[in-house]
Structure 1
Amino acid sequence: MMGGYGMMSGFGMFIPLLLIGFVIYVAFRLSNGSYSIRSRENNALDILDERFAKGEISEEEYIHKKKILR
């Protein structure tokens, strides 16, 4: 008489496990620093440094933009 009840309880256990996995994934991504403002600032400064090193911008423009980013 259990019929589909056994299958439902198995599916019912799958949803909480899926939610726990999702929470762990989100926590890992946030702790990894990929969403931090600080890493974006450093990335912008790295790009600015590269552009200055390649000669794409002048020293004056480099200093001005660096002040803005900090």
Structure 2
Amino acid sequence: MMYWGSYGMGGWGVVLMAVDTVLFWVLVIVAVVALVRVLSCWPGRGDRERSNSEQLLAERFARDEIDEQAYRCDLETLRQVRHSTSGGS
């Protein structure tokens, strides 16, 4: 029997369509979050870690854990490592 204005979908059809829609949007959101996490780990992260290492070195110097000569030597070493890993010559 044909129902007026209906596609012949019963109650379970409506429920399954709603569940499919929710699952689709959950997958889209999970994919976007994963993509953002992956992209945020690549180029910029190394620069932050290097600046953090220089900041840590400066803090050690400020606390008098190392002397000026050791500070300058270690700072130069950090900068050389950064220069060599960034592909510069």
TM, length-normalised to structure 2? 0.59
- Structure 1 spans left out of the alignment, 5+ residues: none
- Aligned-residue sequence identity (percent) comes to 25
Q: How does 1:48-59 map to 2 (within 5 A)?
A: 48-59=57-68
Deviation sequence 1:10-53 (CA, Å, 0-9, x none)? 1111122122223443427845x8x6110111111111111111
The CA RMSD over aligned residues, in Å, is: 2.7
1:39 corresponds to which of 18, 29, 48: 48
- Structure 2 spans left out of the alignment, 5+ residues: 1-8, 80-89
**Higher Rg of the two aligned structures:** 2
Distance 2:31 2:75 in 1: 37
- Aligned counterpart, 2:85: none
Distance 1:69 1:19 in 2: 42
Greater RCO, 1 or 2 (C-alpha within 8 Å, sep 6+): 1
| Aligned residue pair count | 69
- Aligned counterpart, 1:68: 77
TM, length-normalised to structure 1? 0.71
